[in-house]
């Protein structure tokens, strides 16, 4: 079953309607981001801010000072990019309880092209003090991450996708901020993945197993704070690491893992992601193939390090 994580975001917002402190803001993209689902059930707590992301973040900060829990929603490119200064200075600097919930991240935005494909957003957000950065692997995790965001006090950036992707979790899955998840155990290589690359890593592990290469697959949905204990313990035991993400390899999951390993556990490492280039227009499938965000690429890189 394939479900877009943005769809799960809309469903989660509907489930939060009973919490009167939850408010939702959107930058004229509610139908696309699915925040419109909250408007349907609580129109008095939904605010369309127009095409004005900076204003939206400032307004969300103000609402947070009054005890509200604002979810500020737009496309990832505009949320992390256009509103960066407001996120840094008006939300993170005073450590306000604002959730920046963005959709249409990565190259799977597809035909909208490179101008709308946020592949630097994790890098931008993880560099901001006080910011928690979450990139769910599937719709189940996305919904649980939204619920967890309400219980957590402080700035948070949650990244959702446009394209439908495989659901890998059961409904009883327990999401915890800052904790990685071991999905498969193997002695030969450690694959650390995030977002849509988690399901692809599981597929790759099955192929590798048929060639007598057993992979441990870890889902890192919280990029910051990173589960360093889990990564270091597994890297120490296994000795070979491959990271996979739908994001630039500069500043994203691969960089975060490399930073930890270089300081605590020097290890052979390969990073799969987008290599210092912009996206372009095309179908999601064609773009994933072009940028090497595929099951076959994971298999290839594992073999190269093995």
Catalytic residues: 53
**Distance between CA atoms of 178 and 269, rounded to whole angstroms?**
22
134, β-bridge pairs: 158, 222
Q: Which of 273, 213, 207 is nearest to 245 (CA)?
A: 273
**Three-class SS string for 200-268?**
HHHHHHHHHHCCCCCEEEEECCEEECCCHHHHHHHHHHHCEEEEEEEEECCCCHHHHHHHHHHHHCCCE
**Distance between CA atoms of 306 and 139, rounded to whole angstroms?**
32
- Specify the DSSP element, H or E, that contains 236: helix 228-238
The number of helix segments (H) and strand segments (E) in the chain equals 13, 14
* Region for residue 5 given its phi and psi (left: phi exceeds 0; alpha: psi -120 to 50; beta: otherwise): alpha
The structure tokens listed for 161 are 């996708």
CB-CB neighbours of 116 under 10 Å: 17
């Amino acid at each position: 079953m394939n479900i877009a994580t943005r769809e799960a975001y809309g469903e989660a917002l509907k489930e939060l309607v009973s919490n009167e402190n939850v408010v939702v803001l959107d930058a004229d993209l509610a139908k696309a981001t699915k925040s419109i689902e909250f408007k349907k059930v609580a129109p008095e707590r939904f605010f369309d801010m127009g095409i004005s992301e900076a204003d939206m973040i400032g307004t969300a900060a103000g609402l947070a000072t009054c005890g509200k829990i604002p979810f500020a929603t737009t496309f990832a490119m505009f949320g992390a990019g256009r509103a960066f200064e407001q996120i840094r200075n008006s939300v993170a600097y005073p450590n306000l309880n604002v959730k920046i919930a963005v959709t249409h991240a990565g190259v799977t935005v597809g035909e909208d092209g490179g101008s709308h494909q946020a592949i630097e957003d994790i890098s931008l957000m993880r560099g901001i003090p006080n910011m928690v950065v979450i990139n769910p692997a599937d719709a189940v995790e996305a919904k649980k991450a939204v619920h967890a965001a309400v219980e957590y006090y402080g700035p948070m950036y949650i990244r959702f996708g446009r394209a439908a992707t495989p659901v890998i979790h059961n409904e009883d899955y327990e999401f915890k901020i800052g904790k990685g998840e071991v999905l498969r155990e193997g002695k030969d290589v450690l694959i650390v993945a995030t977002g849509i690359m988690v399901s692809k890593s599981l597929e790759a592990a099955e192929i590798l197993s048929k060639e007598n290469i057993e992979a441990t697959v870890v889902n890192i949905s919280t990029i910051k704070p990173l589960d360093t204990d889990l990564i270091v313990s597994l890297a120490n035991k296994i000795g070979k690491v491959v990271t996979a993400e739908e994001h630039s390899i500069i500043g994203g999951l691969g960089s975060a893992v490399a930073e930890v390993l270089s300081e605590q556990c020097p290890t052979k490492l390969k990073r799969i992601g987008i290599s210092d280039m912009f996206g372009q227009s095309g179908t999601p499938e064609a773009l994933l193939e072009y940028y090497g965000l595929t099951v076959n690429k994971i298999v290839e890189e594992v073999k190269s390090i093995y």
